[in-house]
Amino acid sequence: MDIGSVAPEIVLRATDGEEFSSRDAVKRGKLVLAFFPLAFTPG
């Protein structure tokens, strides 16, 4: 992705069973996503 490009929508199921949509979250304000490759995994 290039800086300033629109990220694809991400939809996940939360631990409480509710669905999280990045598109809905952005409507409520800024959204920061952080990715941690191999975090909490062996290897």
Domain residues for the domain of 31 are 1-43
pLDDT of residue 27: 93
pLDDT of residue 20: 93
Helix (H, G, I), strand (E, B) or coil at 26: helix
pLDDT of residue 3: 86
Whether the Cβ atoms of residue 24 and residue 18 lie closer than 8 Å to each other: no
pTM of this structure: 0.57
pLDDT digits (tens, 9 = 90+) for 4-38: 888 889 999 988 999 999 999 999 998 887 777 77
If one counts every other C-beta atom within 10 angstroms of the C-beta of residue 28, the result is 7
> What is the domain count for the chain?
1
In 1-43, alpha helices (H): 22-28
pLDDT of residue 43: 61
User: Under 8 Å CB-to-CB from 7, ≥6 apart: which residues?
Assistant: 1, 22, 33
